[in-house]
Amino acid sequence: RCKLKNMINGVIVDKTYRSIDTFEPADVEERKMQFLYRQEDEYHFMDMDTYEEVTLNETQVGDAKNFLKDNLEVDILFFEGKAIGITLPNFVDLRVTKADPWVKGDSVTSDSKPVTLETGYVLKVPSFIEEGEKITVDTRTGEYVTRVKE
Q: What is the pLDDT of residues 98-115, one digit of tens each?
A: 998 866 665 555 688 999
Domain positions in the chain:
28-89, 91-147
Which pLDDT belongs to residue 7?
73
Separation CA 16–CA 88 (nearest Å) = 31
The domain over range 91-147 is classified in CATH as 2.40.50.140 = yes
Percent over 70 (pLDDT), the chain: 94
pTM value is 0.80
Quick one: residue 40, left, alpha or beta (phi over 0 = left, psi -120 to 50 = alpha)? left
Q: Which neighbouring-strand residues pair with 123? A: 115
Evaluate whether 28-89 and 91-147 have a shared fold. yes
Cβ within 8 Å of residue 90, ≥6 positions away: 138, 139, 140
Which pLDDT belongs to residue 24?
86
Top-confidence residue, 145 or 10: 145
Average pLDDT over residues 126-140: 95
Top-confidence residue, 134 or 24: 134
Quick one: residue 51, left, alpha or beta (phi over 0 = left, psi -120 to 50 = alpha)? left
CB 101 within 8 A of CB 149: no
Average pLDDT over residues 70-76: 96
Query: What CATH architecture applies to the domain 28-89?
Result: Beta Barrel (2.40)
